[in-house]
């Protein structure tokens, strides 16, 4: 999967969700995916903006996370996923990404 394909998949999924009140940025070595959860439905883009929570990971791990092959909690515990900012916002993502 490319960054554009992942972004499109996340846009499609976000269109079915309601706002969650925060902004989140996934930062990878191949670019970013920014989710504006203050909008209804949440807006997904590749804009590199400041966010309430930034999740940093390698692109291959990010693709596995979005594809359902990698569990977010396992990725965090093994160091594949690093969180900067509000940890509570990251916890909300479990329901948003499903």
Predicted TM-score (pTM) of the model is 0.91
What does the pLDDT look like over 44-92, one tens digit per residue?
999 999 999 999 999 999 999 999 999 988 999 999 999 999 989 988 8
Residue 23 pLDDT greater than 70, yes or no: yes
Residue 42 pLDDT greater than 80, yes or no: yes
Q: Cβ(60)–Cβ(28) under 8 Å? A: no
Complete edge-to-edge strand list for the sheet that includes strand 43-45: 43-45, 31-36, 23-28, 53-56, 82-85
> What whole-number distance in Å separates Cα of residue 95 and Cα of residue 98?
6
Whose CA is closest to 90, among 53, 63, 56? 53
Domains of the chain: 3-97 (3.30.1050.10)
């Amino acid at each position: 999967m490319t960054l554009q394909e992942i972004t499109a998949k996340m846009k499609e999924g976000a269109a079915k969700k309601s706002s969650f009140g925060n902004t989140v940025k996934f930062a990878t070595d191949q670019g970013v995916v920014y989710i504006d959860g203050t909008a209804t439905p949440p807006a997904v883009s590749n804009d590199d903006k400041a966010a309430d929570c930034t999740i940093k990971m390698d692109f291959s791990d990010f693709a596995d996370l979005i594809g359902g092959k990698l569990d977010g909690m396992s990725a965090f515990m093994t160091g594949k996923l690093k969180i900067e900012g509000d940890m509570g916002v990251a916890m909300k993502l479990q329901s948003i990404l499903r």
